Amino acid sequence: MATVPAYTPDALIAADIDAYLAQHQTKSLLRFITCGSVDDGKSTLIGRLLYDSKMIFEDQLAALENDSKRVGTQGQEIDFALLVDGLAAEREQGITIDVAYRFFATEKRKFIVADTPGHEQYTRNMVTGASTADLAVILIDARKGVLTQTRRHSYLAHLIGIRHIVLAVNKMDLVDYDQAIFDRIVTDYAAFAESIGIAGFTAIPLSGFKGDNIAAASANTPWYGGPALIEHLETVTLDSEAAVVRPFRLPVQWVNRPDLDFRGFAGLIASGTIRPGDAVRVLPSGKTSRVARIVTMDGDLEQAVAGQSVTLTLTDEIDCSRGDVIAAADAPPQVADQFRATIVWMDGEPLLPGRAYWLKTGAGTVSATVQPPRHAIDVNTLAELSVKTLSLNDIGIADVFTDRGIAFEPYADNRDLGGFILIDKITNATVAAGMIDYCLRRSQNVHWQSIDITREAHATQKNQNPRVLWFTGLSGSGKSTIANLVEKKLHALGKHSFLLDGDNVRHGLNRDLGFTDADRVENVRRVGEVAKLMADAGLIVLTAFISPFRAERDLARSMLPAGEFVEVFVDTPLSVAEARDVKGLYAKARSGTLANFTGIDSPYEPPIAPEIHVDTTRETPEAAAERIVEHVLGIWAPVL
């Protein structure tokens, strides 16, 4: 049994405890992760760090000596690995099966170590442990050099955005502290690191077992002039400090409303600095205000910085709820609903493209679907693989669509606003971790501009309630004819209206669209958006489009406040419409010169419960129009 000195506390503790405490009140905090396989001596290294920083007590040491004799793998020597291999199952198998967190402190810093396993099947654990780390210690067995798993760990650390990599070349004692071996490993690793975009790393020759270059420079490696491991960990720059100089972002976690006089927005500042009086913008609404107070139980603050949990009050009563982001008014993050993302799948049940999952980011949770992956990445070879789905521990690139816009930043700029998890809606399991690479072109750079004249104001000025009368039916059913009559009647009654006609819109706005199913969907989506804008302007909008698919009509309905969408089904049997054939289109379709014609070789899905049903075989256009106007006027609530 090696003689291990017992715990020797800092002399200052006994001499002047208050001075010691004052010194330790101002420590900073570094989180790091250790990566390596079972055989690299990772647990031993962590045990050694705990031991060398005096975190091991006499009773623990006694238990350790006891355990080392019983189940240790180091013969009569103390097996430091036993300090950290926690769960009973692991002891039996001699492996680490999950992320464990360890703590130690030096005079300069407190450290939180995420200890994660190196097995391939536990990619998810390493990604989990790395997600909060500032630094990664990649362990290499000096006898083995750079292995596949070294590349895998380095890739994952880099993927998760860790900027400080330590290459810990361990077990130097077993290669006689040979500089040539160390140098060759460093050269090999440097070539690989550069190839995957790691900007720099610090290589340290050490022995966790013997303690070389852990707490202090080792006499066994006189050729090494760099820092010992602990010294390096004490001095490396913290990511959290870098976040302070970025623009201000506060994901709102909780709206604090103890009474009608106080409305505070609470959250953890993701980046930047804030002071009372600073102009802020609330995303996604885009509304602006100023910070009134930074409220804490210890009194108001004059300034708060990234990493603090605060409660802000604003000078204006604006809408802001959980999931919104309060940001610097002059440098707000983007709002988008479509992203390119890197996804790490973490569940036994594979990704189902198109299925709706909960996506949680910042403080907000939205519904999202993942498109089929563009490709997956082989973590060993870094090759791009063509895949249809993602399974446990797969990493892939895919597009993610959310059901509403969220404020975000690319993950590379901000982990809190760029990282997300996906949650299965049925099992509630966390099935994936994702990192936003960028938003897709279509939704990029579109900020919601806050407007002072609201839709209510527009409607009030016109003395009417906005409506969208959505006429649907086969070609030649009489939609345009009836819509036209309705609009004339509304106009005569002094109502402000606009008729969007299918044929007319296809000459302009939708000139680029054809008649495939996909183009029909897009045609209706655009018309729905235009109708919504016009309704926002206070108008009564009439649309006359075949709009054959139920889903797209429902989409248009969902864009509007409840009650504003009035579906008018102009119901004319195909035989009647075809017999009328006002534009000669049915003849063309039957002769094959016009493809994808609704009713002939493209389906029409009739409404199930339209607000108004017009049977044109029983009712004249004039009578139908009169009934529609009466119906619409009849259900109009008085203007506020």
Partner 1 sequence: MTDIPTDRLTHLERLEAESIHILREVVAEAERPVMLYSVGKDSAVMLHLAKKAFYPAPPTFPLLHVDTTWKFRAMYDLRDKAARDAGMELLVHHNPDAMARGINPFDHGSLHTDLWKTEGLKQALDHYGFDAAFGGARRDEEKSRAKERVFSFRSANHRWDPKAQRPELWHLYNARKAKGESIRVFPLSNWTELDIWQYILRERIEIVPLYFAAPRPTVERDGMLLMVDDDRFRLMPGEVPVDRSIRFRTLGCYPLTGAVESEAATLSEVIQEMLLTTTSERQGRAIDRDAGSASMEKKKQEGYF
Nearer to partner 1, 208 or 323 (CB): 323
- Identified binder of partner 1 from the candidate list 267, 405, 548, 599, rule CB under 8 A: 267
Q: How many CB atoms lie within 10 A of CB 124?
A: 19
Q: How many CB atoms lie within 10 A of CB 202?
A: 16
> Which residue stretch of 294-302, 386-394, 520-528, 620-628 sits at the interface with partner 1 (rule: CB under 8 A)?
294-302
Q: State the minimum distance, in angstroms, from the CB of residue 153 to partner 1.
A: 17
Asked if 363 is part of the footprint of partner 1 (rule: CB under 8 A), the reply reads yes
Q: Is the peptide bond before 284 cis (omega within 30 degrees of 0)?
A: yes
Phi and psi dihedrals of 114, rounded to 5?
-95, 120
- Identified binder of partner 1 from the candidate list 1, 2, 4, 10, rule CB under 8 A: 10
- Residue 501: what residue type? D
Give the Å distances, CA to CA, from 4 to 48, 57, 162. Answer: 11, 12, 35
Helix (H, G, I), strand (E, B) or coil at 450: coil
Q: Tokens in use for 328?
A: 């610097």
Percentage helix, strand, coil for the chain under 3-state DSSP, each rounded to 5:
30, 25, 40
Question: HEC string of 506-528?
Answer: HHCCCCCCCCCHHHHHHHHHHHH
329 neighbors 272 (Cβ within 8 angstroms)? no
- Identified binder of partner 1 from the candidate list 429, 451, 587, 639, rule CB under 8 A: 429
164 neighbors 66 (Cβ within 8 angstroms)? no
- Identified binder of partner 1 from the candidate list 2, 4, 17, 582, rule CB under 8 A: 17
Asked if 95 is part of the footprint of partner 1 (rule: CB under 8 A), the reply reads no
Helix (H) or strand (E) holding 90: helix 88-93
Within a 13 Å sphere around the CA of 108, how many CA atoms are in the beta-carbon half? 10
Asked if 4 is part of the footprint of partner 1 (rule: CB under 8 A), the reply reads no
Looking only at residues 39 through 58 of this chain, which bind partner 1 when binding is defined by CB under 8 A? 57-58
Q: State the minimum distance, in angstroms, from the CB of residue 554 to partner 1.
A: 27
Give the Å distances, CA to CA, from 17 to 6, 12, 13, 24, 118. Answer: 21, 7, 5, 10, 41
Q: Tokens in use for 412?
A: 């590379």
Q: State the minimum distance, in angstroms, from the CB of residue 69 to partner 1.
A: 14
Nearer to partner 1, 361 or 572 (CB): 361
Looking only at residues 446 through 505 of this chain, which bind partner 1 when binding is defined by CB under 8 A? none
Q: State the minimum distance, in angstroms, from the CB of residue 379 to partner 1.
A: 17
Buried b (16+ CB within 10 A) or exposed e, 526-565: ebbebbbebbbbbbbbbbbbbbbbeebbeebbebbeeebb
- Identified binder of partner 1 from the candidate list 197, 258, 494, 603, rule CB under 8 A: 258
Q: Which of 508, 479, 484, 477 is nearest to 498 (CA)?
A: 484
Q: Length of the chain, please?
A: 640
DSSP 8-state assignment for residue 207:
B
Asked if 303 is part of the footprint of partner 1 (rule: CB under 8 A), the reply reads yes
Nearer to partner 1, 60 or 338 (CB): 60
> Which residue stretch of 102-110, 328-336, 584-592, 622-630 sits at the interface with partner 1 (rule: CB under 8 A)?
102-110
Tell me the per-residue interface mask from 112 to 131 with partner 1, x by CB under 8 A, - otherwise. x-----------xx-xx--x
Asked if 241 is part of the footprint of partner 1 (rule: CB under 8 A), the reply reads yes
DSSP 8-state assignment for residue 328:
E
Q: Tokens in use for 240?
A: 């959290």
- Identified binder of partner 1 from the candidate list 358, 401, 438, 515, rule CB under 8 A: 358
- Identified binder of partner 1 from the candidate list 420, 471, 549, 569, rule CB under 8 A: 420
- Residue 89: what residue type? A
Helix (H) or strand (E) holding 253: none
- Identified binder of partner 1 from the candidate list 180, 197, 277, 302, rule CB under 8 A: 302
Q: Tokens in use for 387?
A: 């895949």
Looking only at residues 305 through 344 of this chain, which bind partner 1 when binding is defined by CB under 8 A? 305, 307-309, 311, 322
Looking only at residues 579 through 598 of this chain, which bind partner 1 when binding is defined by CB under 8 A? none
Total binding residues for partner 1 by CB under 8 A?
90
Nearer to partner 1, 64 or 500 (CB): 64
DSSP for 109-133 reads EEEEEEE----GGGHHHHHHHHTT-
Asked if 94 is part of the footprint of partner 1 (rule: CB under 8 A), the reply reads no
Looking only at residues 143 through 202 of this chain, which bind partner 1 when binding is defined by CB under 8 A? none
Nearer to partner 1, 30 or 568 (CB): 30
> Which residue stretch of 171-179, 355-363, 394-402, 459-467 sits at the interface with partner 1 (rule: CB under 8 A)?
355-363
Q: State the minimum distance, in angstroms, from the CB of residue 428 to partner 1.
A: 4
Tell me the per-residue interface mask from 54 to 93 with partner 1, x by CB under 8 A, - otherwise. ---xxxx--x---x----------------x-xxxx-x--
Tell me the per-residue interface mask from 272 to 291 with partner 1, x by CB under 8 A, - otherwise. -x------------------
Nearer to partner 1, 131 or 472 (CB): 131
- Identified binder of partner 1 from the candidate list 7, 107, 374, 446, rule CB under 8 A: 7
547 assigned to active site: yes
- Identified binder of partner 1 from the candidate list 202, 253, 315, 389, rule CB under 8 A: 253
Asked if 295 is part of the footprint of partner 1 (rule: CB under 8 A), the reply reads yes
Q: State the minimum distance, in angstroms, from the CB of residue 37 to partner 1.
A: 19
Residues 6+ apart with CB under 8 A from 115: 33, 34, 42, 43, 46, 84, 96, 99, 100, 101, 102, 129
Asked if 415 is part of the footprint of partner 1 (rule: CB under 8 A), the reply reads yes
Options 391, 443, 547, 591, the catalytic residue: 547
> Which residue stretch of 191-199, 391-399, 419-427, 503-511 sits at the interface with partner 1 (rule: CB under 8 A)?
419-427
Asked if 14 is part of the footprint of partner 1 (rule: CB under 8 A), the reply reads yes
Phi and psi dihedrals of 481, rounded to 5?
-60, -50
Q: Kindly tell me the burial class for residue 15, based on how many C-beta atoms sit within 10 Å of its own C-beta (0-12, 13-18, 19 or more).
A: exposed
Q: State the minimum distance, in angstroms, from the CB of residue 329 to partner 1.
A: 21
Asked if 107 is part of the footprint of partner 1 (rule: CB under 8 A), the reply reads no
Residues 6+ apart with CB under 8 A from 545: 471, 472, 479, 500, 502, 505, 523, 524, 527
- Identified binder of partner 1 from the candidate list 93, 101, 121, 187, rule CB under 8 A: 101
Nearer to partner 1, 429 or 595 (CB): 429
Asked if 103 is part of the footprint of partner 1 (rule: CB under 8 A), the reply reads yes
Residues 6+ apart with CB under 8 A from 615: 571
369 neighbors 355 (Cβ within 8 angstroms)? yes
204 neighbors 169 (Cβ within 8 angstroms)? yes
Nearer to partner 1, 150 or 311 (CB): 311
Q: Is the peptide bond before 227 cis (omega within 30 degrees of 0)?
A: no
Which are the catalytic amino acids? Answer: 547
